[in-house]
Amino acid sequence: QGQLTESGGGSVEAGGSLRLSCQSSASPPPNCMGWFRQAPEKRREGVASIALIADYVDYSASVRGRFNVSRDGAQARIVLQMNSLKPEDTGTYYCVAGSPMRCTLESLWSARNWGQGTQVTVSS
């Protein structure tokens, strides 16, 4: 929410690319950050996560090979590069941050720090 700043998003045709960024201003900074998404009338699902110290990454099967999550210079800033976008990627993308014992999408579900969301629309 107030401690996460998201940028990026927009509308593209299928096959296009978008780049999302998220910066945490929390002190101390989180150890784990990632992205979840929610399509209209659909359940929220994990997209990608990254351990900021060890660079361990976790992707959902639906985006693996197309999306890449990485640190972007600052310890608590991440980038989600989304390539080969499909209409089913459409939704509101939420940045999330926390410090779970293990940095995975599953563990981030219980994180308390969520961004306001940024819209991604992919047309067919």
Which pLDDT band, with edges at 50, 70 and 90, does 2 fall under? low
Mean pLDDT for 3-12 is 96
Q: What token pair was written down for 38? A: 């929610």
Mean pLDDT for 83-111 is 96
Average pLDDT, the chain: 95
Which pLDDT band, with edges at 50, 70 and 90, does 11 fall under? very high
Structural contact between residues 96 and 115, judged by C-beta atoms closer than 8 angstroms: yes
Does pLDDT of 40 surpass 80?
Answer: yes
The C-alpha atoms of residue 88 and residue 123 are separated, in whole angstroms, by 9
Q: What token pair was written down for 27? A: 């002190």
Q: What is the pLDDT, as a whole number, of residue 95?
A: 98
Beta-ladder partners of 10: 120
Q: What is the pLDDT, as a whole number, of residue 1?
A: 43
Pairing state between β 67-71 and 4-7: unpaired
